[in-house]
Structure 1
Amino acid sequence: MDAIEQEIQAKGLTAPRVTPADVETAIAGEHYFTALEAVTGRTIECAIAVQQSHPLSLLTFCVLVLKNGFTVTGESACASPENFDAEIGRKIARQNAVNKVWPLLGYALKEKLQEAQA
């Protein structure tokens, strides 16, 4: 649990809101690939062996499929080929995709709250 979530709970803020657990629950699947994989159809391991410093091999994408079928993407770009690490790239790309889920769930919650008031 991150520091903001801990602070929200510590302050006893209990009104309806989107939580980190809500975001994770909304995710049905996740997929990762580099731009080089997308262009060539090769796996990252094969692509790196062939062209380690190719610029497209340094751009990692994460596609999150939400339970309702909607998709969001995140990306991670590495400036130096020597620093490229597939696992770190995937983590950063996933976090960037997750950050796009928050406003979608916030909008859905606001719609639900407004309908309850009507």
Structure 2
Amino acid sequence: MSDKDIEQAIQAKGKTAPRVTPEHIGSVISSEHYFTAQDGVNGAYGTPRDAPASLSCLTFCVLTLKNGFSVTGESACASPENFDAEIGRQIARENAIQKIWPLEGYLLKQKLSEQ
């Protein structure tokens, strides 16, 4: 069940208490960046380097939030023949987004406890 499916189920049951929503999660992201481990190795040395082929199949997503905090997600492909850069970016992004939920949940709970 996706985050949006869960939100629809919550709305269908008429739940209206404060909560973190998929829209809220999207609204706190200020930038996103993608690279492979091979890109990272090349960037670290300033020139292309020989490295294990598997580094080209490991994708990272860095999401920077509006408050300046960053979260990361990753996606690894076991078989290089199945590697698809776009799918790798989508999976890495979703993994990064999943790390935002508990952070925003904590912030909401803190705000509610201060009221």
What's the CA shift for 1:40?
1.1
Q: For 2:67, what is the secondary structure of its paired residue?
A: coil
| Distance across 1 between alignment mates of 2:83 and 2:43 | 20
What's the CA shift for 1:32?
0.2
| Distance across 2 between alignment mates of 1:110 and 1:74 | 24
- The one-letter code matched in structure 2 to 1:60 is T
Residue ranges of structure 1 left out of the alignment (5+ in a row) = none
What's the CA shift for 1:89?
0.2
Residue deviations 1:31-52 (CA, integer Å, cap 9, x gap): 000000000129xxxx7xx98x
Residue ranges of structure 2 left out of the alignment (5+ in a row) = none
TM-score with structure 1 setting the length: 0.87
- The one-letter code matched in structure 1 to 2:107 is A
Q: For 1:2, what is the secondary structure of its paired residue?
A: helix
Q: Decide which of 13, 19, 22 is 1:11's aligned counterpart.
A: 13
Q: Percent identity?
A: 66
Q: How does 1:26-105 map to 2 (within 5 A)?
A: 26-41=28-43, 54-105=53-104
| Distance across 2 between alignment mates of 1:22 and 1:2 | 12
Runs of 4+ in 1 over 6 A off after TM superposition: none
Number of positions where the alignment pairs a residue of Structure 1 with one of Structure 2: 109
TM-score with structure 2 setting the length: 0.89
| Distance across 2 between alignment mates of 1:22 and 1:78 | 30
| Distance across 1 between alignment mates of 2:105 and 2:95 | 17
Q: Give the CA RMSD over aligned residues.
A: 1.9
